[in-house]
């Protein structure tokens, strides 16, 4: 079946490398690869720019001049959206969730949000989640009343339009695997809002059943919540683009139990894995997404709970700027 890709704007530096992790493969008796989507360019936007290629094409097609999106104070997605909007000459308004007040000194992604010129609304965490359910209507209305033509991007870019980023990302990786003589593999990705995971799963369905499997690692919420989120994103994508697929909760696999104390909150085992991977492979992970996801993968392999009979592709979704606000947590 031909994949019906919608319109996009070229923003990412692709294809990104697919690299074998030789020393960790030897350590864990598994064939481990990393898809280096931390190298997509656009100021190190990681996986987000793949989604934004489709999302911002739609925004421009609808005549928008202002893009609104939301996330935590250190959101990779918000920073990536601000960067892409700056590149395209669009205004960007960010709605940032704050847990303990606005940082006195901008750091990490928040610093870059400022540099890219985004305007920002700060919402206390106690109010953020309720407002996010209806896409912050008061802020949208305020910007429209100022004469702005608004396009709202869901958290993480996890929307039917954004899903195409990882349908395309999967196809790119599959072609690289074919050149290596690999026609079956298991993919592992961090999952915060469902868009990357859903895109990868949908892409596998365009191919022979059983050739590819996808596992998410929930880095926020529990797996039951994220399964529901993935189902919504997947089925909304299929409906909007008239793709003859349907998902239910059994469609999505997770490595559960690695959220730790919460979103954006590190824990010693995760930080030790980040240090281990950097020391063994020269690969930098972040404490919010990729560090937890890779820690989950290595832990499950180590326990004998994750199958190693096929090559394992870890999707590195970026997030390097998120490491700096956690500098004090590293076990040096």
SS3 313: strand
Per-residue pLDDT at 331: 65
CA atoms within 13 A on the CB side of 168: 24
Domains: count for the chain: 2
**Residues labelled as active-site residues:** 75
151 and 171: one domain?
no
What are the backbone angles phi and psi of residue 204, rounded to the nearest 5°? -65, -25
185 and 287 share a domain? yes
Containing structural domain, residue 152 = 48-156
Q: pLDDT tens digits, residue range 206-260? A: 999 999 999 999 999 999 999 999 999 999 999 999 999 999 999 999 999 999 9
Helices in 137-222 by DSSP H: which ranges?
137-145, 160-179, 195-204
Can you tell me the distance from the alpha carbon of 293 to that of 34, in angstroms, rounded to the nearest whole number? 12
Contact indicator for 81, 153 with CB cutoff of 8 Å: yes
Looking at the structure, do residues 129 and 177 belong to the same domain, yes or no? Answer: no
Domain presence at residue 7: no
CA angle 291, 296, 298 (to 5 degrees): 95
In a domain, 285, yes or no: yes
For residues 236 and 143, what is the distance between their CA atoms, to the nearest angstrom? 27
Task: Report pLDDT for 259.
Answer: 96
pLDDT of amino acid 332: 64
151 Cβ neighbours under 8 A, 6+ residues apart: 58, 59, 62, 64, 66, 67, 68
Rounded Cα–Cα distance for residues 290 and 313 (Å)? 13
Cβ-Cβ contacts under 8 Å for 313 (sequence gap 6 or more): 18, 33, 34, 35, 173, 177, 185, 186, 187, 188
Consecutive 10-residue averages of pLDDT for the chain (332 residues) = 92 97 98 97 85 98 98 92 96 94 86 95 92 92 97 94 98 98 98 96 95 96 95 97 97 97 90 96 95 98 97 94 76 64
d(CA 136, CA 130): 9
Alpha-carbon separation of residue 257 from 16, 214, 219, 292, 296 (angstroms): 30, 17, 9, 10, 8
Where a domain ends, among 126, 156, 186?
156
Spatial distance between the Cα atoms of 252 and 66, rounded to a whole number of angstroms: 34
What CATH number is given to the structural domain containing 88? 3.40.50.1100
101: left (phi over 0), alpha (psi -120 to 50) or beta: left
Instruction: Name every residue whose Cβ is closer than 8 Å to that of residue 316 and which is 6 or more positions away in sequence.
Output: 34, 35, 36, 37, 38, 46, 283, 285, 290
Read off the pLDDT of residues 15-50 as tens digits, 9 standing for 90 and up.
Answer: 999 999 999 999 999 999 999 999 998 777 789 999
Same domain, residue pair 169 and 218:
yes
Q: Please tell me whether residues 215 and 287 are part of one structural domain.
A: yes
Among 139, 156, 173, where does a domain finish?
Answer: 156
- My answer on whether 312 and 214 are in the same domain is yes
Give the dihedral sign, CA 48/53/54/60: positive
Residue 111 backbone phi and psi in degrees, to 5:
-60, -45
**End of a domain among 121, 141, 156?**
156
190 Rama class: left (phi>0) / alpha (psi -120 to 50) / beta: beta
């Amino acid at each position: 079946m031909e994949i019906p890709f919608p319109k996009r704007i070229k923003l990412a530096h692709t294809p990104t490398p697919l690299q074998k992790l030789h020393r960790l493969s030897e350590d864990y008796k598994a064939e481990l690869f990393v898809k280096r989507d931390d190298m997509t360019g656009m100021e190190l936007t990681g996986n987000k720019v793949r989604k934004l290629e489709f999302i911002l094409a739609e925004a421009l097609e609808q005549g928008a001049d202002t893009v609104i999106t939301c996330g935590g104070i250190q959101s990779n997605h918000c920073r990536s959206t601000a960067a892409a909007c700056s590149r395209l000459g669009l205004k960007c308004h960010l709605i940032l969730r704050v847990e303990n007040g606005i940082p006195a000194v901008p750091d990490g992604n928040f610093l870059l949000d400022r540099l890219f010129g985004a305007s920002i609304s700060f919402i206390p965490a106690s109010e953020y989640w309720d407002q996010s359910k209806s896409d912050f209507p008061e802020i949208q209305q305020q910007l429209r009343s100022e004469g702005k033509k608004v396009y709202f991007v869901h958290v993480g870019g996890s929307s039917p339009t954004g899903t195409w980023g990882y349908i395309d990302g999967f196809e790119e990786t599959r072609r690289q695997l074919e050149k290596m003589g690999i026609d079956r593999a298991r993919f592992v990705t961090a999952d915060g809002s469902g868009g990357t995971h859903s895109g990868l799963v949908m892409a596998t369905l365009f191919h022979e059943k059983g050739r590819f499997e996808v596992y998410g690692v929930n880095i926020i919420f529990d797996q039951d919540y994220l399964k529901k989120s993935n189902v919504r994103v997947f089925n909304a994508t299929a409906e909007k683009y008239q793709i003859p697929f349907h998902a239910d909760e059994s469609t999505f696999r997770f490595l559960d139990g690695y959220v730790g104390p919460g979103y954006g909150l590190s824990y010693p085992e995760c930080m030790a894995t980040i240090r281990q991977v950097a020391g063994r492979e020269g690969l930098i992970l972040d404490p919010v997404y990729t560090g937890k996801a890779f820690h989950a993968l290595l832990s499950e392999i180590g326990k004998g709970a994750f199958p190693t009979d096929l090559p394992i592709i870890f999707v590195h979704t970026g997030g390097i700027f998120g490491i700096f606000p956690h500098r004090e947590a590293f076990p040096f």
